[in-house]
Structure 1
């Protein structure tokens, strides 16, 4: 069809906006009401196909039943026979200002988390309206989300392959309707769909907007399908706020029952997630060691999602809950370090006792050794302080403790090794040579290396 053509004697085609395999979208004018409209025309060849005509009619009925700021409004539907093209089906719809999210991502690459959550929240609001009317979109993707970049408001378009819950007969056996990169696992399995399928697709859209690409990308469709059905998505960037990451990862759960219970709940969580600041390590994949699951493991994700719907519970994972998990992971390392220190001291005692049997040894009496043992064998106050310090350190790294746990052994044994030399001019820092009055006292230097080593624990 050409510019200037009147459809149904009323709607003038002004400018072609888009064209695809199923038809064209035009910017037009309702000459009767003198308002701008969008005119969607099904290709003539498809208009004669009963199945495609039925789908086109379904889109008209679906959109007409939905009254939501986030869904493009439908004004009219009809069929017309033209001299050039024969039978054509058309939809007269609201003309939306803005661009598709697909175009925006092509230009900008990624979007800030706050902007992504605005898009998710408004799209989820629209999906809630559709789901309440038992309509599942089945093709949520960036190309079907029109975004007003000034306000962040989003409208869902193209309900052409939407389906009423439980409807059948429009899809051939073995045919998957939708776009592979955004399809839910149950959609790919051919299972009966619920609104949770649209939420999964919206989660994929959010992931792409944050990371610049969908989570599952491959040259082969089979690999993409396998990713959706069996693989965890690659980890999100660590600088993404915890609340935002929670929204994305919960919506991408493989089991539909583990996702949000409704689109309205997802919308609330997206709005709450926007105000949560501070990033946390996020990795939905199975971690290589147990420590990685402290922040965002599979079980914890399910737990966090259960509390999203009420109040400000979305902030809890980065507050008390995460801190308690961190404390519980620090304690075993402190205990391990204390045991290593104790073993080092015991080894030192055995070694010193061996020197006492050596006639060439410089240690004249056992009393200084006992004093040294009493001084270095008092880890309790230092351990308590270390526990407090570690509890307050949200960036605790197990590898640090593994390296410093050997320090007490090296610090304690080195000074005493010097005392074993017959030519030594200075006695061990752990003991002092007898004063003129014959008394042996611990040196102040004894506490310095021991305390420093303990604090490194």
Structure 2
């Protein structure tokens, strides 16, 4: 059934003007022909009428709201499901018509509210929630779009479509997170049980937005925002906000439900006390505490959470101590578990998706690089002259002195070096006579001290110097030679 001005619902409610269109339905102003009063008629969209889940959620809103009577809750008058002339099912909800505008429109226009006006809005919303909480109903979707403000300043709560009641069957599948990500409480974002304190957290987010002109948590995706609700503390409020008001919001935004106000009534009383000049509630580092668990502005399903965490039941049971109505525990892990000892929390204030990294691997790498550079520099300073004069293909082997019994010595005397140098090119001679070459000396036996000047000879590639009783002759065939010196094995030389 396509509604338009002049249409009549259930032969009783005449449509007079459109009010708004939401994710699930359309809201129209209508006239109750029977009672002669103006009402608001909310009609479920045709594409959702055949969906059992959406239809049950719509019925859920009617049942929950109809049982609540409070000046800060928009009353429900009627509910019906009819078949139109085309044979299609039409579900509608008739409720109190609230003159005024939603709080979200006021914030769009004015950006922020004064602390006094904010406290008044929070107190009225908290008092309306107190009636729901006493009846065992948790709203689960507190946000500026669901608070209507009349011209005289009276605030009305609306849209109990995803509210939970302790006597009702759950409307969502296990592991599904339902709500508006920017206003979700941490436990709600993780898919765990909700309590009256969960609505208090959402009111805290709403109050923060009224004072600061922006929400405390935003992101590129609904899941990223939900993770921020779980892990990150809210940014500080502007310094112009009085201290008691800041303390009130800080307590409402505590990550642990047990550190918040237990329900809407307690939050409303605290807001009234602060508005009267009170000091505000005592707070600690509540907004930075983690939930003790195991491991778009529209209301929407954030997405399924993988099942299988064994510790989720215990965590859900722990949250139940916060008081107020609560759903049954769900066996699912959090979207983002808390860090284990020694780990970073995984959230950087500048970039939500990046994890901080330890600087120690870079420090170690820098130290190793410095050591290598130092070694290369030392080798360059000690053997720089040889490197410049050395002919390609020539290998210099320094003379070594060792001590061993019954061994003969083959020693390259200075004369040998000069004789060899005569048979080589001039470049090789310069290399041989250079006293600054790098040498390596093997350690002598214990108790023996030796000092041996480096000895250098050049030999043909096919000629070696064996250890004999007398020095072996040296032959030089080409400038590109391999230099080899037999060690002095006769004993220490002083």
TM over 0.5, yes or no? yes
Residue 174 (structure 1) shift: 2.3
User: 2 CA distance for matches of 1:139 and 1:301?
Assistant: 23
Question: Aligned residue pairs: how many?
Answer: 287
**Cα RMSD after superposing both structures:** 2.3
Q: Provide the secondary structure at the position in 2 that maps to 1:197.
A: helix
Q: What are the ranges of 5 or more consecutive residues in structure 2 without an aligned counterpart?
A: 290-494
Aligned to 2:107: 105
Q: Which runs of at least 4 in structure 1 moved beyond 4 Å after TM superposition?
A: 299-302
More divergent stretch after superposition (206-215 vs 77-86): 77-86
What is the distance in 1 between the residues matched to 2:124 and 2:278? 21
User: Does the residue aligned with 1:235 lie in a helix, a strand or coil?
Assistant: coil
Residue 36 in structure 1 maps to residue 23 in structure 2: no
Q: Which residue of 1 aligns with 2:213?
A: 212
Mapped partners of 2:71, 2:133: distance in 1 = 15
**Equivalent position of 2:6 in the other structure:** 4
Cα shift readout 1:4-38 (whole Å, capped 9, x = no counterpart):
01101010011110112211000110011111000
Partner in structure 2 of residue 359 of structure 1: none
Kept after mapping to 1: 8 A contact 2:256/2:286: no
Shift of 1:85: 7.1
Encode CA deviations 1:264-312: one digit per residue, 9 max, x unaligned: 111011111113389x9x9xxxxxxxxxxxx96527999xxxxxxxxxx
Distance in 1 between residues matched to 2:22 and 2:131, nearest whole Å? 27
Please identify the structure whose Cα radius of gyration is greater.
Answer: 2
Say whether residues 1:52 and 2:54 are aligned partners: yes
Taking a change above 3 Å as real, the CA distance of residues 277 and 269 of structure 1, as seen in their structure-2 partners, is closer
TM-score with structure 1 length normalisation?
0.60
Q: In the superposition, relative to structure 1, how do residues 66 and 166 fare at CA in structure 2: closer, same or farther (>3 Å)?
A: closer
In structure 1, what is the equivalent of residue 69 of structure 2? 67
Q: Give CA-to-partner distance per residue, 1:132-152, whole Å, 9 cap, x none.
A: 11111100000000012x433
CA displacement at 1:247 relative to structure 2: 1.6
What residue is the counterpart of 1:393 in the other structure?
Answer: none
Instruction: Specify which structure has the higher proportion of helix.
Output: 1
What are the superposed Cα offsets for residues 375-431 of structure 1, whole Å, 9 maximum, x if unpaired? xxxxxxxxxxxxxxxxxxxxxxxxxxxxxxxxxxxxxxxxxxxxxxxxxxxxxxxxx
Per-residue deviation, residues 156-192 of structure 1 (Å, max 9, x unmatched): 0000111113744410222111000000000011111
Relative contact order (C-alpha < 8 Å, sep 6+): which is higher? Answer: 2
Compute the TM-score of the two structures, normalised by the length of structure 2.
0.56
Partner of residue 120 from structure 2, selected from 118, 127, 137:
118
Tell me, which stretches of 5 or more residues in structure 1 are unaligned?
283-294, 303-457
> C-alpha separation between the residues in 2 aligned to 1:268 and 1:296?
16
Kept in 2, the 8 Å contact 1:147–1:155? The answer is yes
Q: How do residues 267-286 of structure 1 correspond to structure 2 at under 5 angstroms?
A: 267-276=268-277
Distance 1:76 1:299, change over 3 A: closer
Give the equivalent residue in structure 2 for 1:240.
241
